[in-house]
Chains A and B, each alone.
Chain A
């Protein structure tokens, strides 16, 4: 067994364990933390596949941003997880059945004549100076420039739409208008009433 294979098996074992714990632990915070572990381990596996850019992006974006945000939400909301877990045992047989069917389908597909793994040879390992990030960047900014720009426009539309749909003045919210507060005159607030003094 080469060292690479050993590393792969260790990472794969951790990944399977972490992924299993995500759906079995009771506490949502623990589940989120296990998900972080699962992401991190898959980043390691991608690193083994010489896809270092994707692996780093996975850590930066998913572990660094998305999961932290998710943890934040879980902690802030103080979810009561008990109702979500109700009927876990009840649905378990169906879940296992679905899982089994998926495994059988995958086995069929992989062992089929046309989709056999032998049809797809292992790509030769790249040399030490090869940079995956550079290769991706070159493609993205040369061959796929047009698509890259359109994707940027789509993001812009998403931002415009999100702001247009959420930012508004709610009629029920009360606003302070400092200018009016400063310019207020005595007459606006105070009413002098002349009345006869009461006797006895």
Chain B
């Protein structure tokens, strides 16, 4: 209990969120300018605290429940940075809709807290509690858009399926606990390793390794649900489509990094001796995700659904790195998780920028002629989509390359072949969106596809948007949002040309 200070980022974040929560009570401004800036300040300071921990020696705290190692420090910085940009992009979108702004930021911050707890968990119980903190915030954020019935439906689906997945995960954890008698990841590893070594000689070692294998199966199911790997992906497209775009952005980016960390903690830190068991399960999940994600995405006309299936296929790639089961594979998967998160962030950021001015850009056609309406947005979107498709010299290419290299190194040639073929097929739907932006005319204003924006109906009904937002005219983008998007797009190129900047940290995390 003498090294509480290593948890300073988490402690600061949670204290600051409670402050923001109280300050928010006294705000009458509907767009919550003060809450917004306080939330951003919280994220910046927490980011600075995490940044200061980079390169420190690994330490555990709270009797081994919390660990600060190279992986957790790096991933926390990325999570915080992405949440920061995410709030920036979301600000106008939620401001002009009937979403409770104050609660949105507070719940978002709580979710960040949950992710940080997951990333630096060193104990089954901390992993689970961090996951629940994140999940609970996400369910509520989806449901916050109360005037939209689609959001309510998505929240319901997300909640029911998410609760089921949490139950599965907890069931698996309880079995592992039953088999080993410990919640601590390192202790679990030691006990199972000696049990597996014992083979079938003694009854004790048999029931220990048997129980752990049972538990492992449920843990994999739970983890696959949370990641959205096929065949546990059903919630993902519906939630992405139904949730307000700002929340979709939130769900699609940072939580993937946290989920990756959870997989590493559970499978690599706690159950590495059962590697041959989980390797096969993950290989099947990865192959199915790659196939289903890429093929079904082609058929989507809704861009949020398309990106949802694209997420599924990228989860397949991410799992490839873990399947490899080598330090090289894990660092490739970590690189993939991080780069995927900030590339998708840019894509959703552009969607949010188009969606401002009361228009809901969720159909593919709403991208038509974007290059003529706002070249910056089209440029960032194009960079993000090409990177997701895996074209050099963007960052997505290097991510795919390193994952494939690791998986071939582990003698899973067939998986690499599936991955390559599927990413070629997948390139089609990314290129289609780019064609819409650059080679098609903006849709004429008479083709009205927007839905009425939910407005504050309590006091003034005349506030309902009377003039339909223009779909062909130029788009106004706030200066800070434009700057954020430009930095985000530049990062996609920069880290593509110099992947070593991120890769070095990823390799350090697994040595």
Contacts and interface: CB of A to CB of B under 8 A. Distances in A.
Query: Do A and B come together as binding partners?
Result: yes
A114 B107 contact: no
Contact of A150 (B63, B129, B143): B129
A176 B464 CA distance: 24
Interface stretch (A71-79, A163-171, A187-195): A163-171
Nearest to B143: A165
A143 B63 CA distance: 6
A153 B113 contact: yes
A142 B136 contact: no
Contacts of B125: 144, 147
Question: Chain B: interface residue count, which band?
Answer: 35 or more
Contact of A147 (B7, B126, B143): B126
A117 interface: no
Given A164-B103, A165-B143, A165-B144, A147 B136 contact: no
Interface in A143-190: 143-147, 150-151, 153-154, 156-158, 160-161, 164-165, 168-169, 171
Nearest to B63: A143
Contacts of A161: 103, 107, 136-137, 139-140, 143
Nearest to B210: A114
Contacts of A119: 203-204, 207
B121 to A, nearest CB: 9
A150 B133 contact: yes
Contacts of B133: 150, 153-154, 157
Nearest to B61: A146
B202 to A, nearest CB: 10
Contacts, number: 79
Contacts of B96: none
From DSSP, what is the main secondary structure of chain A's interface residues?
A: helix
18 contacts: A114-B206, A114-B207, A142-B63, A144-B63, A144-B65, A145-B62, A146-B62, A150-B117, A153-B110, A153-B133, A158-B136, A160-B140, A161-B139, A164-B103, A164-B140, A165-B143, A168-B146, A169-B458
B132 interface: yes
Nearest to A161: B140
B336 interface: no
B100 interface: yes
Given A146-B62, A146-B66, A157 B140 contact: yes
B136 A171 contact: no
A199 interface: no
B1 interface: yes
A171 B464 CA distance: 14
Contact of A146 (B65, B144, B146): B65
Interface in B384-434: none
B3 interface: no
Interface string B97-129: 000100100110010010001000001011001
B351 to A, nearest CB: 24
Nearest to A164: B103
A147 B113 contact: no
A147 B125 CA distance: 7
Nearest to B128: A147
A33 to B, nearest CB: 30
Contact of A142 (B1, B66, B103): B1
B107 A113 contact: no
B246 to A, nearest CB: 15
A165 to B, nearest CB: 6
B475 interface: no
Given A150-B130, A157-B137, 15 more contacts: A114-B207, A146-B7, A147-B126, A150-B117, A154-B129, A154-B133, A154-B136, A156-B18, A160-B103, A160-B107, A161-B137, A165-B144, A165-B146, A169-B458, A171-B457
